Structure 1
Amino acid sequence: MLASVVHGLRRPLAPRATRVPVLRKLYTSPVWRADERWQQLTNILADDNPPPVQVKSMSDAGIELADGQLIPGACIFIDGKIFLWDVPPTQWRGWSEERFEMFEIIVPRPEILLLGTGKAATLPPASLRQYLSRLGIQLDVMDSWSACTTYNLLAEEGRRVAAALLPFRPRPWKKQPTIEESTPCGKTS
């Protein structure tokens, strides 16, 4: 009996190197449940809480976020939040450590601060770089668009990153009057 089975398999085998592996077809289909709708593909490497602030583009009008909002002036992105940043209109003239004081109180501090300096990268004064270094923050200086794209990438990776961004065209923030400034003698009506 064994001889007849072996006799049927008497064709010569190809050398090992030229054998073609058997390809198996793999069929997949979405799992449908009566109470759920099919979900679109998601990034499996992303964190459960992706950063809510993502930059889409940058122009003379300001920084456009992925959700369509436009920020016309200087701002700081940190921990998924946006802070308006009051800076002097002339780059580095009149700047002091107080422009970066918020990084003293943030816990945990960012490991990297991306400083976007407008259309071109210009180094800040050495005193500001040393101040941030004493706080344990690595400073990377680049043009604002590069800072935005680098921020998007590092924030998506889950890194502790902040971006301090100057617009292409400097615009001062309009300050809202306080209650004391808007009503005479600080009285409300």
Structure 2
Amino acid sequence: MSAFTHLRHSLLRRGLHTTPIRKTDRPTVFTNMLAGDVPPPVQVSSITSAGIQLADGLILPSACIFLDGKVFLWDVPTRLWDGWTREHWNVFELVVPKPEILVFGTGRRMELPPSSMRSYLKEMGIQLDIMDTRNACSTYNLLAEEGRRVAAALLPYTPRPWRS
């Protein structure tokens, strides 16, 4: 028995039903009643030594930013605060509207960034919440589900630079 014949027989046994397509002269318009102006948030499923795993199974092995329902690769130095400048945060100058809260996950442990970086984000009107990456992922998921204007800047447990 060929694979096609086997598939056809298994579908017939399952009682697969189809509905014929209606032909009309007028176009059909669907309205998504659940859609809003805010895109659905990207959810973090887990954080491991391999990286940050999204709800769809994709693993991001390096630093990333979650913003407006999208994920951006974030090119930062592998050593925390060594070589970090304002330019690493300038993506938040470009977005409109700016997030009201930035959840910053600093890896396995919570590490306070230099005061110059904290004041830079405060000048932009962004509240900075700093925590370890595991708690930052949970907090981001919760705030995004609530519909808050939240962003997350997440560092993985094992720092790895993005390859160009």
AA aligned opposite 2:86 = E
SS at match of 1:57: strand
- The structural deviation recorded for 1:52 is 4.0
**Within 5 Å, which residues of 2 pair with 1:64-103?**
64-103=53-92
Matches of 1:143 and 1:129, distance apart in 2:
16
Which residue is equivalent to 1:48?
Answer: 35
State the alpha-carbon separation in 1 of the partners of residues 79 and 40 from structure 2. 31
TM-score scaled by structure 2? Answer: 0.77
Aligned partner of 2:99 in structure 1 is 110
Distance, in Å, in 1 between the alignment partners of 2:51 and 2:120 is 28
Q: Could you tell me whether the CA contact under 8 Å between 2:41 and 2:145 is conserved in 1?
A: no
Question: Please, what is the CA RMSD of the aligned residues?
Answer: 1.3
Q: CA deviation at 1:48?
A: 3.2
What is the distance in 1 between the residues matched to 2:72 and 2:144? Answer: 16
Q: Alpha-carbon deviation of 1:51?
A: 2.3
User: How many pairs are equivalent?
Assistant: 130
Q: What SS does the aligned partner of 1:64 have?
A: strand
Tell me the residue number matched to 1:143.
Answer: 132
Equivalences for 1:178-189 in 2 at 5 Å?
none
In structure 2, the gaps of 5 or more residues are 1-18, 20-33
| Paired residue type of 2:159 | P
Q: TM-score, length-normalised on structure 1?
A: 0.67
- 1:61 alignment counterpart: 50
Q: Which amino acid aligns with 1:105?
A: L
Distance 1:131 1:51 in 2: 28
- SS of 1:162's partner is strand
**Structure exhibiting the larger radius of gyration computed from Cα positions:** 1
Rounded Cα–Cα distance in structure 2 between residues aligned with 1:52 and 1:149: 13
Structure 1 stretches of 4+ with a deviation exceeding 2 A read 47-52
Paired position in structure 2 for 1:170: 159
